[in-house]
Structure 1
Amino acid sequence: MINCAIAGLGRWGRALVRAARNEPRLRIVRAVEPDANGAAGFCEAHGLSIAASLDDVLADPRIDAVLLATPHSLHKGQVIAAAGAGKQVFCEKPLALRRADAAEMFAACRSAGVVLAVGHNRRFWPSMQALRAITASGELGTILHVEGHNSNENSRSITQGWRLSPEESPGGGLTGAGLHVLHGFVNLLGPARQVYARLSAREAGPPPLDTATLAIEFVNGVSATLATIRATPFYWRVHVFGTKGSAEVLDEQTMVLRKSGEAPATTRYPAIDTLTAELSAFADAVEGKQPFPVLEADVLATLAAFEAALQSMQSGHPVVCHTAYQ
């Protein structure tokens, strides 16, 4: 049994607690939440004791691991402190807003001999796993281009807090929704070489009305485009184009395969609980069964492209990515 504490009981932190109930090897027993009164009912319902601070949790010898669902700017200090206390770490994405900070976190956990798992849950979508397999198989021929889009209207229900902060969530919808697609691109294609990005802000809000668009060149020569909007209904699309065909993922379960002279073939994959799947992968990594599938190299390459996108939005010019791959 891996006894866990969670820091942050907002919408996503609570979703992680619920998902962990389906993974018998993980038991979340303590919670760190600034709004203790607001979280009291949830904690009572899920058998969580409320800790006064993360330091209290890290000093508790009964806690084996911490799950972090906190604002991005807190991650570096929290991850490094957890590693120093010998706790296994699961941290929600983005791990950091700067590649260098993420590299420090991985180095600290590596030195301490603990796992650092980053919660890119859409990597566990059955459709995205199938897309990676078909892209790697060569069935699509030489990969030439990828298009991606991830939008949601969560911003309409968020009128205050860190999610609307330019410091915590820069680049409009890129930090939240768009980063899922950017990470998916890196997982499919490897590191980006250059990014040209634009943030078009119509109204500051709340809710903010803006669009973020990226044109990306990858080290392997593949081009890509990415768009995200914070105030439109949920939409997901990742479409890989090759010389022999294309494959398009439209949601968690659906992929459309297109080949010359053939009718489009749509495959529907069985639904899974992706949050439980990633927490099960975390448990596997803690137990030493297999590494967590979201690799350090992919996380760092994603953040290198993310940083380049933010710099490009500011400068109006393409920006070359800093990446350990080059």
Structure 2
Amino acid sequence: MRDGKFGFGLIGASTISRERMVGAMNGSGVALPVAVFSRDLARGRTFAAEMGIPKAYDRLDEMLADPEVDGVYVASTNERHHREVLACAAAGRHVLCDKPLAMSLAEAEDMVRACEAAGVVFATNHHMRCGAHHIAMREIVRSGRLGDLVVIRVVHGALLPAHLQTWRINDPATGAGAIMDLAVHDADIVRFLTGDEIVEISAMSKNSGMGTDKIEDTALAIFRTAGGTLGHIHNVFNTPFNRGSIEIHGTKGSLYARDNMGQSPEGTVHLRDAEGLHEIPLEHEDLYVRMVRSVVAAARGEGEAACTGQDGLRSLAVALAMLESAASGRAVPVPASQVSSQPGGSV
């Protein structure tokens, strides 16, 4: 630890690290970014200098051997996550990994098991769980105020920013496309809000010309949960005036969240029931700060990370089934995991 704070090493001089995670670590009060690994040392050094990070490495094993690195934030492209998380586990370093965890369920299960065997925290950066709106919605669902859940609807996406229109729409080897980028979040938030598992999904997708012709920029899906709730997911990269939203409809009430599917601490939640329409009071806080604090607390033995590796595995399973359904034109069951999981979270 450095100055009594948890030291994070960053894998990847990435956009998410630059725009969100370095600031979240510095603002958490419990963590600091102490090193960055980049395969391009010049890029790594430039990033470190710009972000106020003391050290840059171009060898992952050297960063993992740094005694000031207590844990690692993995923000590389998706196809690298598996081997990099295994390396972190082998070095005894706690891990916060960006989503999707891996390119296959077998890889993700391998990662979960490796971290469990090493006795290190393995968390998934599904930041939306940390939003005040979603925490409030989950509490209302758990309270029974909605009655039996009937339908849930998730709208997620807008216009993919120009500086992100790179591998996400052009490189199939990285797990590109709207489904792997967005639907994993949607699957996770459904689990988080309802405490239920998506067990079957039917999807359609298309390419509207944004990127490589075999990579979808638009996808729609309907799903069924183990508890019988039906749902709808809408993912897009190319609709600049879209508004993120979630609706949960039950036999006694309905919840409406608006402007809630982004990275910033904003949005509203309303409850409509027999007594009328009520706005739910929210205390917004940086979503990534909450995630960082939960990971550090878990590493110190103080509860569980807001989103575990097992949670990330389940969201990946849904996204992969959604891809399979869109390609095959049929409904696809979401395979059960060989690793135990509860859709909880510490937030």
In structure 1, which of residues 244, 247, 256 is the aligned counterpart of residue 252 of structure 2? 244
Match of 1:259 in 2: 273
What is the rounded CA distance, in whole Å, between the counterparts of 1:95 and 1:209 in structure 2?
19
CA contact (8 A) 2:156 2:234 kept: yes
Q: TM-score, normalised by structure 2?
A: 0.87
Are the counterparts in 1 of residues 187 and 198 from structure 2 also a CA contact under 8 Å? no
- Which of 250, 275, 289 pairs up with 2:302? 289
Q: Distance in 2 between matches of 1:247 and 1:160?
A: 36
Is the contact between residue 240 and residue 248 of structure 1 (CA under 8 Å) also seen in structure 2?
yes
Bigger shift: residues 136-145 or 3-12: 3-12
Distance 1:181 1:162, change over 3 A: closer
CA distance in 1, matches of 2:308, 2:123: 8
Cα contact 1:253–1:268 (8 A) shared by 2: no
Work out the CA distance in 2 between the residues paired with 1:27 and 1:182. Answer: 30
Give the alignment partner of residue 227 of structure 2, picking from 216, 220, 223: 220
Instruction: Specify which of 69, 79, 101 is matched with residue 85 of structure 2.
Output: 79
Q: Distance in 2 between matches of 1:116 and 1:104?
A: 12
Map of 1:1-326 to 2, 5 A cutoff? 1-14=5-18, 15-45=20-50, 46-161=52-167, 164-170=170-176, 172-189=177-194, 190-205=196-211, 210-233=217-240, 235-250=243-258, 251=260, 252-260=266-274, 262-324=275-337
User: Which string of whole-angstrom CA distances, capped at 9 and with x for unpartnered residues, describes residues 170-222 of structure 1?
Assistant: 4x312222321221012223211111011122225379883100110111111
- Distance in 2, matches of 1:82 and 1:134, equals 38
Q: CA deviation at 1:22?
A: 1.2
Distance in 1, matches of 2:106 and 2:310, equals: 12
User: Aligned equivalents of 2:160 and 2:218: distance in 1?
Assistant: 14
1:235 deviates by: 2.5
Bigger drift between 209-218 and 143-152 goes to 209-218
Paired residues of 1:151 and 1:178 also in contact (CA < 8 A)? no
Match of 2:61, SS?
helix
Deviation at 1:152, TM superposition (A): 2.6
Q: 1:231 to 1:162 in 2, by over 3 A?
A: closer
Contact 2:185–2:315 (Cα < 8 Å) also in 1: no
Q: 1:159 to 1:126 in 2, by over 3 A?
A: closer
Give the 3 Å change call, closer, same or farther, for CA 36–162 of structure 1 in structure 2. Answer: farther
Does the 8 Å CA contact 1:156/1:231 hold for their aligned counterparts? no
In structure 1, give the amino acid aligned to 2:24. Answer: A
Q: CA RMSD in A?
A: 2.2
Q: Deviations over 1:224-264 (max 9, x none)?
A: 0000110122521111100001001112441011113x432
Query: Any unmatched runs of 5+ in structure 2?
Result: 261-265, 342-347
Deviation of the 1:42 alpha carbon: 3.7
Gaps of 5+ in 1: none
Find the aligned partners of 1:156 and 1:284 in 2 and give their Cα distance.
36
Q: How many residues align?
A: 324
SS of equivalent to 2:28:
coil
Deviation at 1:168, TM superposition (A): 1.9
Shift of 1:166: 2.5
Provide TM-score, normalisation by structure 1: 0.92
SS in 2 for 1:149: strand
